[in-house]
């Protein structure tokens, strides 16, 4: 099965890629950084020889780049799973954050998923099957101080997920919104957070992989994960 994963060179995206590579699937990966992406591709192919790993750099916050990546994926056939993981976190408050931050967050966290999904959906709809995972956030569910445009964009991604799910029900395509709490990733670099206080990226990946294994009659609509001690 072909599995598309964006933002796949580190963090949650890399953990998801490992789960599906271990199961022997064909992975179609992208991230903004070419070297790190190709290093990831090589590592996965070496570690999981039964899988097929393909990768190409793409800035998913750019509409044309997102659409081009989608067409590149379709060259390998109809995707069975799409994981819209690419995104960016920058803190701020609505009243004083830098001008243009909302546009940047919306492009990285919402438009990336919107434009890629629109490219690959016709093939999935024709196949009458498939599963789309949108990596939202706890910030999609509850506003918090210093969330600003990031939180706004993640609320929008959750709304996109809910709307898409209703549209795709007649076509046999599942849509799952994934809302992780604090997870060890590049966003926490330099924070000095206690590793025991934060989730591992593999925790999120395992839940996504498990949800993808259900019968065609069942859809996990929302996955909400938080650190055992609660939000940070």
Q: What is the pLDDT of residues 175-221, one digit of tens each?
A: 999 999 999 876 666 677 887 889 999 999 999 999 999 999 999 99
111 in active site = no
In terms of Cβ atoms closer than 10 Å to its own Cβ (0-12, 13-18, 19+), residue 44 is buried
pTM of the model: 0.96
Instruction: Please list the helix, strand and coil fractions of the chain in percent, rounded to the nearest 5, in that order.
Output: 45, 15, 35
Q: 177 lies in which domain range?
A: 2-225
Closest Cα to residue 61, out of 151, 146, 152, 153? 153
Instruction: Tell me how many domains the chain contains.
Output: 1
201 assigned to some structural domain: yes
Q: What was the pLDDT predicted at 187?
A: 66
- CA angle, corner 122, sides to 117 and 125, nearest 5? 100
pLDDT by residue for the chain (232 residues), tens only, comes to 999 999 999 999 999 999 999 999 999 999 998 899 999 999 999 999 999 999 999 999 999 999 999 999 999 999 999 999 999 999 999 999 999 999 999 999 999 999 999 999 999 999 999 999 999 999 999 988 889 999 999 999 999 999 999 999 999 999 999 999 999 876 666 677 887 889 999 999 999 999 999 999 999 999 999 999 998 8
Catalytically annotated residue among 48, 111, 114, 150: 150
54 assigned to some structural domain: yes
179 assigned to some structural domain: yes
CATH number, domain of 51, equals: 3.40.50.720
């Amino acid at each position: 099965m072909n599995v598309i994963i964006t933002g796949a060179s580190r963090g949650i995206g890399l953990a998801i890629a490992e789960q599906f590579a271990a199961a022997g699937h064909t992975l179609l990966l992208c991230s903004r950084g070419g070297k790190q992406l190709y290093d990831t591709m090589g590592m996965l192919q070496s570690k999981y020889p039964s899988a097929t790993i393909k990768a190409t750099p793409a800035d998913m916050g750019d509409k044309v780049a997102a659409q081009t990546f989608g067409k590149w994926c379709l060259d390998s056939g109809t995707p069975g799973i799409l994981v819209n993981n690419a995104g960016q976190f920058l803190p701020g408050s609505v009243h004083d954050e830098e001008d243009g931050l909302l546009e940047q967050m919306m492009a990285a966290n919402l438009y990336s998923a919107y434009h890629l999904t629109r490219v690959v959906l016709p093939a999935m709809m024709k196949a009458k099957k498939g599963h789309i995972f949108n990596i939202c956030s706890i910030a999609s569910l509850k506003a918090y101080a210093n969330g600003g445009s990031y939180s706004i964009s993640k609320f929008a991604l959750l709304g996109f997920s809910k709307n898409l799910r209703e549209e795709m029900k007649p076509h046999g395509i599942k849509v799952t919104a994934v809302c992780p709490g604090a997870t060890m990733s590049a966003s926490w670099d330099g924070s000095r957070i206690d590793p025991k206080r934060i989730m591992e990226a593999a925790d999120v990946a395992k839940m996504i992989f498990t949800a993808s294994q259900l019968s065609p009659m069942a859809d996990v609509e929302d996955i909400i994960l938080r650190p055992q001690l609660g939000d940070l």
